[in-house]
Amino acid sequence: MSFAQQFLTEVQEITRQLDAPAIEKMAETLAGVREQGGRLFILGVGGSAANASHAVNDFRKIVGLETYAPTDNVSELTARTNDEGWETVFEQWLRTSKLKRTDALLIFSVGGGNLEKQVSPNLVAALQYGQSVGAKILGIVGRDGGFTAKVADVCVVIPTVSQAHVTPHSEAFQAVVWHLLVSHPRLKAAQTRWESI
């Protein structure tokens, strides 16, 4: 089997194993956030930060849900990192945004955050702050989901079908799941351009 065939076979297996009921519950949760006038904050680092930026556009434009990603403001992100440290960069951003119980955090992450291994401690601090104010916590994560999966109201863990491809599959399927969500009849509020032509 070629590498391309192997990778695509893994994609098919992940698709087969995805937790559709959890995705449905996430759609319902997000609909509730919108109905209560809440906001959505999407947090991720690395490739997941790039996904967060794209997802912000989709949730705002297609779903009509007020949505933000702290990583979209590179000046604030780097100032906070430089002055206060990487570990608190998201938590402090959320404090300034006055995160409240009607809001939701959506975490995009391969590992979900792990303080013991010092992986994405900024996500852990943001999640702990989110818990303290009673915000909804959602996650689309890989591997075992880390801290995100432990504390989330709803978490979709991308199944690991290849230890060699945990990161690319996790980040690729973040996009699959969020595109599913913004296309979901419970959430979709505006027609996408090509489907309207």
CATH classification at residue 79: 3.40.50.10490
Tell me whether residue 197 is in a domain.
Answer: no
pLDDT score for 145: 85
Total Cβ atoms within 10 A of residue 28: 14
Q: From residue 151, give the alpha-carbon distance in Å to each of 146, 170, 181.
A: 9, 19, 21
Tell me whether residue 113 is in a domain.
Answer: yes
Q: With contact defined as beta carbons under 8 Å apart, do 14 and 177 qualify?
A: no
pLDDT score for 4: 98
Tell me whether residue 37 is in a domain.
Answer: yes
Tell me whether residue 11 is in a domain.
Answer: no
State the residue range of the domain holding 110.
Answer: 22-188
pLDDT score for 133: 98
Tell me whether residue 33 is in a domain.
Answer: yes
Q: From residue 93, give the alpha-carbon distance in Å to each of 14, 54, 144.
A: 34, 19, 27
Tell me whether residue 5 is in a domain.
Answer: no
Tell me whether residue 171 is in a domain.
Answer: yes
DSSP symbols for 52-105: HHHHHHHIIIII---EE-GGG-HHHHHHHHHHH-GGGHHHHHHHHTT--TT-EE
pLDDT score for 195: 82
Tell me whether residue 152 is in a domain.
Answer: yes
Query: Once rounded to an integer, what is the mean pLDDT over residues 38-63?
Result: 98
The strand pair at 40-43 and 67-68 is best described as parallel
Total Cβ atoms within 10 A of residue 118: 9
CA end-to-end distance (rounded Å), the chain:
40
Q: With contact defined as beta carbons under 8 Å apart, do 22 and 154 qualify?
A: yes
pLDDT in tens, 116-141: 887 899 999 999 999 999 999 999 99
Query: Once rounded to an integer, what is the mean pLDDT over residues 39-47?
Result: 97
pLDDT score for 29: 98
pLDDT score for 115: 85
pLDDT in tens, 73-94: 999 999 999 999 999 999 999 9
Q: With contact defined as beta carbons under 8 Å apart, do 123 and 86 qualify?
A: no
Number of structural domains in the chain: 1
The torsion defined by the Cα of 49, 55, 59 and 65, in degrees rounded to 10, comes to: 0
3-state secondary structure of 157: strand
pLDDT score for 116: 81
**Residue 157 structure tokens:** 């863990």
**Mean pLDDT, the chain, whole residue set:** 96
The torsion defined by the Cα of 133, 101, 182 and 110, in degrees rounded to 10, comes to: 10
